[in-house]
A and B are shown apart, each in its own frame.
Chain A
Amino acid sequence: DAGITQSPRHKVTETGTPVTLRCHQTENHRYMYWYRQDPGHGLRLIHYSYGVKDTDKGEVSDGYSVSRSKTEDFLLTLESATSSQTSVYFCAISESGTTGRYGYTFGSGTRLTVV
């Protein structure tokens, strides 16, 4: 497939609980990203990583944290889930110019519902 997998695919959680989403890649790409997709907002960047243990915030980072301890794994944690974090979360990877290519490859997404 695309060399990038997300887990879980679906999750329902209660308000106030912590939630961790996982993104795993087999492409050895340096850059990894977490986006959320909401109707009327398109895809908005939450956090991104430019290497192991190197991460930075995107435009909608409040309430989220990330970790990248290995090249292949990028974890997104909702520290205390709120209903406003109900969304579809997409992970993406990019070579970002290593081979002249800058486009993203997206994972299949995680549909998260906070009740």
Chain B
Amino acid sequence: GENVEQHPSTLSVQEGDSAVIKCTYSDSASNYFPWYKQELGKRPQLIIDIRSNVGEKKDQRIAVTLNKTAKHFSLHITETQPEDSAVYFCAASFTGTASKLTFGTGTRLQVTL
């Protein structure tokens, strides 16, 4: 089955700096890569996703990049703000099999003032 590794497990940045979280996946059949944000005590929420036919996608201050050859994908957050502090999860799936998502182990992002 699919295996997703995520790094780093914790990340501390100063407000206004950029943050990058990286994930690798093992199954070359995977073609859907979402990112979820989970605030303390809350449910995970989808913030951005990318399909394998696209190399990069942006939404305001967040962007995701995908390197299919290397089986890497990354989340980039620019101009970080205190409200970006949360746990971020990457995930991967093949959309032809009920889109069962395999998640990474999470990155705790702390944005300090």
Chain A residues proximal to chain B, CB less than 8 Å: 2, 31, 33, 35, 40-45, 48, 50, 56, 58-59, 90, 94, 96-97, 102-109
Contacts and interface: CB of A to CB of B under 8 A. Distances in A.
B49 A90 contact: no
A102 B43 contact: no
30 contacts: A2-B43, A31-B98, A42-B6, A42-B103, A42-B105, A44-B103, A45-B100, A45-B102, A48-B98, A50-B98, A56-B98, A59-B1, A90-B43, A90-B44, A94-B98, A96-B98, A97-B95, A102-B32, A102-B34, A102-B49, A102-B93, A103-B34, A103-B46, A103-B49, A104-B44, A106-B43, A106-B45, A107-B43, A108-B42, A109-B43
A103 B45 CA distance: 9
B89 interface: yes
Interface string B38-66: 00001111100100000000000000000
Given A48-B98, A48-B100, A42 B46 contact: no
B12 interface: no
Interface in B17-37: 32, 34, 36
Nearest to B105: A42
Task: For chain B, give the interface size range.
Answer: 20 to 34
Contacts of A50: 98
B104 to A, nearest CB: 6
B98 A106 contact: no
Nearest to B101: A104
A110 to B, nearest CB: 11
Nearest to A6: B43
Given A2-B43, A108-B42, A108-B43, 12 more contacts: A35-B103, A42-B89, A42-B106, A94-B99, A103-B34, A104-B34, A104-B36, A104-B44, A104-B101, A105-B46, A106-B43, A106-B44
A90 B105 CA distance: 15
A33 B102 CA distance: 12
Interface in B68-108: 89, 93, 95, 98-106
Contact of A102 (B6, B95, B103): B95
A63 to B, nearest CB: 19
